[in-house]
C-alpha cells in the first residue's frame, strides 16, 4: 500500500479508536443506566480501529484492500446498530451527528481500500468509475421510488434525512457522468466493436434523457400522479426507466468485477496459489 494511503488509514483509524473510547465512556456516564447496546457495538468499532492501525503499520500485506474493506464494513455496521440500539440518543445527547461522522469515516476507509486495489493496474480506475456510475444511478432511483415516495428533494430528519440525501445523490450525480461517457464513445477511436458503438451510446444516453424528462415533467416528485395525458407519459417514462436501470445495474456490476479482477496481484507479494503442474519430486495420487 502506498505511503500516503497508509498515513490516511492510520489517521482515520486513530480517530475511530479515540471516538469509540469516548463514546464508551459517555455510554456509561451520560444516561441514568448504561447504554449497553451502544457500548457493545462501540467495542467492535474500537477493535476495527485497532486493526486499521495494525494495517497501517504493515500487517495484512497480502491483502490490504480486503482487510481495509472489512474494517470499513465493521465500522459502518457497528455504528448503525449502536445508533439503533441507543434509539438515537443517550441522555439528552442526540447521536445523529455522531452517526454521520462514523459513516463518513467508513466511506473514506472504503475509498482508500478501493484506491489501494485499483492503483495496481493502469486504467482500472476508469472502468470502476463507469461501473459505480451505472450501479449507483440504479440503486439511487430505486431507493427513491421504493423508500422515499419518488421525492427527489431530501426531507425529514435524522437518519431518514441522511438516507434520503444519499439516495438523491446516487440518483442525480451519475447522470452527468453518463453523458460524459456518451461523449467519449462518440469521439473514441478504439477498434473494439464487441458491442456496437450505437448500442453503447444508446445505453449511456437513455438513462439521463429519460430521467431528465421525468424529473422536469413531475417537478422532482416522480411518484406523484399528474392529470390527463401527462400521467400516461409519466407512467410510460417510469416503465422505460425501470428497464434502463435494470440494464445499468447489470452493466455496473460487470464493470466493477472486471476492474477489480484486473488487479488480482499485490505488488511485491508472490502468489502462493496452487499450480496444475507438480513440482519436481512431488507425487500425485
Task: Give tens-digit pLDDT for 206-239.
Answer: 999 999 999 999 999 999 999 989 999 999 999 9
pLDDT-derived band of residue 266, with 50, 70 and 90 as boundaries? low
d(CA 50, CA 24): 15
Residue 250 cell numbers, joined: 447489470
Q: Give pLDDT tens digits for 99-158.
A: 889 999 999 999 999 888 888 888 888 889 999 999 999 999 999 999 999 999 998 877
Q: What is the mean pLDDT of residues 32-37?
A: 87
pLDDT band at 202, cuts 50/70/90?
confident
Mean pLDDT of 79-108: 88
At 173-189, the pLDDT tens digits run 999 999 888 888 777 76
Strand, helix or coil at 30? coil
Please report the pLDDT score of residue 70 as a whole number.
Answer: 92
Partners of 221 in the beta sheet?
151
- Give strand pairing partners of 93: 90
Amino acid at each position: 500500500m502506498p505511503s500516503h494511503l497508509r498515513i490516511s488509514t492510520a489517521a482515520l483509524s486513530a480517530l475511530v479508536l479515540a471516538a469509540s473510547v469516548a463514546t464508551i465512556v459517555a455510554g456509561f456516564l451520560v444516561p441514568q443506566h448504561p447504554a449497553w447496546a451502544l457500548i457493545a457495538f462501540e467495542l467492535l468499532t474500537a477493535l476495527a480501529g485497532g486493526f486499521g492501525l495494525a494495517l497501517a503499520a504493515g500487517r495484512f500485506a497480502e491483502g490490504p484492500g480486503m482487510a481495509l474493506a472489512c474494517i470499513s464494513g465493521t465500522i459502518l455496521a457497528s455504528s448503525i446498530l449502536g445508533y439503533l440500539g441507543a434509539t438515537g440518543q443517550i441522555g439528552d445527547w442526540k447521536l445523529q451527528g455522531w452517526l454521520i461522522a462514523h459513516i463518513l469515516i467508513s466511506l473514506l476507509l472504503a475509498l482508500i481500500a478501493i484506491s489501494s486495489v485499483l492503483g495496481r493496474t493502469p486504467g482500472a480506475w476508469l472502468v470502476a468509475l463507469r461501473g459505480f456510475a451505472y450501479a449507483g444511478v440504479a440503486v439511487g432511483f430505486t431507493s427513491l421510488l421504493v423508500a422515499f415516495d419518488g421525492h427527489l428533494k431530501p426531507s425529514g430528519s435524522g437518519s431518514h434525512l441522511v438516507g434520503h440525501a444519499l439516495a438523491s445523490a446516487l440518483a442525480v450525480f451519475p447522470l452527468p457522468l453518463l453523458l460524459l461517457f456518451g461523449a467519449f464513445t462518440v469521439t473514441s477511436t478504439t477498434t473494439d466493436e464487441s458491442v456496437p458503438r450505437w448500442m453503447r451510446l444508446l445505453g449511456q444516453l437513455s438513462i439521463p434523457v429519460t430521467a431528465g424528462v421525468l424529473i422536469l415533467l413531475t417537478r422532482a416528485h416522480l411518484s406523484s400522479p399528474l392529470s390527463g395525458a401527462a400521467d400516461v407519459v409519466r407512467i410510460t417514462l417510469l416503465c422505460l426507466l425501470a428497464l434502463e436501470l435494470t440494464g445499468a445495474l447489470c452493466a455496473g456490476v460487470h464493470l466493477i468485477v472486471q476492474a477489480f479482477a484486473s488487479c488480482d496481484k499485490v505488488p511485491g507479494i508472490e502468489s502462493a496459489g496452487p499450480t496444475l503442474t507438480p513440482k519436481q519430486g512431488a507425487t500425485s495420487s
